[in-house]
Homo-oligomer: A and B are copies of this chain.
Amino acid sequence: MAHDIRVVTEQELRSVIGLDRAVTDVVEKAFSALAGEGVVMPPILSMALHEANGEVDVKTAYLPGFDGFAIKVSPGFFDNPKLGLPSLNGLMILFSAKTGLVQSLFLDNGYLTDLRTAAAGGVAARHFAPEEIATAGVIGTGVQARLQMQAAHLERPFERLLVWGRDPGKAAHCAADLGEKLGIAVETISEPGKLVEQCQLVVTTTPAREPIITHDMLHPGLHITAMGSDQAGKNEIAPRVLAACDLYVADRLSQCELVGELAAAKAAGLEPFATAELGAVVAGRAQGRQSNRDITLCDLTGTGAQDTAIASHVAQLLAGSPTGTVITT
């Protein structure tokens, strides 16, 4: 029996979806589902291609309450810039959760991943940031530095933003972009410690392998979202920070133990401390921030659940639209 598959390019996707609270809502729904019954989220399939300085990750998750499930393939080939190509590429495939038939192919080159990753930061800000944020800060100056601050600002409309990056030129560029995008005062700052000191909400977005945020920087009423670490060996947050927080939240504990900030803390023998999964807090099954003076940390490593969420959301946005190329098979 023939059926139609919609193939949608990155450019077409950019014309129909951007970062907004609807994206955060659907990602929040995915985290809630992840805390419930009937979820299936296998470990990430990961393949390193050493000869090409490349790697490929495959993520997926089946979530009750979603009509489809996504399989996402994310290649990262780090010599590509020498060839004038981006390092990151990839696609998402949306399948019917009822029949397994391919419904859509999103040739997004990582665009949907960028959105769903930022939206997870939005969910973290929604549930863990203090109600009043005077100043937010971002560590890092890349795509996620920008998107994370946009997602956070949708939840907590702060009026002042600080940016720190190793490269002052990139930090200045990022600050200018965010000032324009958010219409607020954005400044660069010379040291991460000075940034944290002034902020109630901090997001770290770097591929650091040595901690940038240390426990001496902590102060009451601080929330940190760490989203840079997604591989063994990456580490933005010093182990003692996890132990010093009132609450450490993982997007998925089993994954954060391997590739998140929790890995270094475990290696340092700093367990046990108060932990929860993001989905459990979203679903009301675990406690989040208890007071405006709490110090909280949310560790985001990226889940297949978010991919299923955003792919399903895009498919709904596209329903009935002529966007993309329809292939009958």
Contact = CB atoms under 8 A, between A and B. Distances in A.
Number of copies: 2
A325 B328 contact: no
Contacts of A9: 327-329
A49 B38 CA distance: 9
Interface string A53-82: 010101010101000010101011100100
Given A38-B51, A47-B40, A99-B85, A327 B77 contact: no
Interface stretch (A88-96, A135-143, A153-161): A88-96
For chain A, what secondary structure do more than half of its interface residues adopt (helix, strand, loop), or is it mixed? strand
B51 A47 contact: no
B95 A93 contact: no
Contact of A64 (B51, B54, B327): B51
Interface stretch (A101-109, A176-184, A197-205): A101-109
Interface in A11-47: 11, 38, 40, 42-43, 45-47
Contacts of A272: none
A100 interface: yes
Contact of A11 (B60, B69, B100, B329): B329
B58 A80 contact: no
Given A58-B60, A107-B327, A327-B325, A73 B47 contact: no
A109 B75 contact: no
Given A60-B47, A327-B325, A102 B107 contact: yes
Of A64, A77, A99, A325, chain B has the most CB atoms within 10 Å of the CB of A99
Contacts of A52: 97-100
B45 A40 contact: no
A73 B64 CA distance: 21
A208 interface: no
B71 A58 contact: yes
Nearest to A71: B73
Given A5-B107, A11-B329, A73-B93, A85 B101 contact: yes
A217 interface: no
A171 B7 CA distance: 41
Contacts of A69: 47, 49, 56
Given A7-B327, A60-B58, A327-B107, A98 B84 contact: no
15 contacts: A7-B7, A9-B327, A10-B329, A11-B329, A38-B50, A42-B46, A49-B97, A54-B100, A56-B69, A58-B60, A58-B71, A77-B98, A80-B99, A89-B102, A105-B105
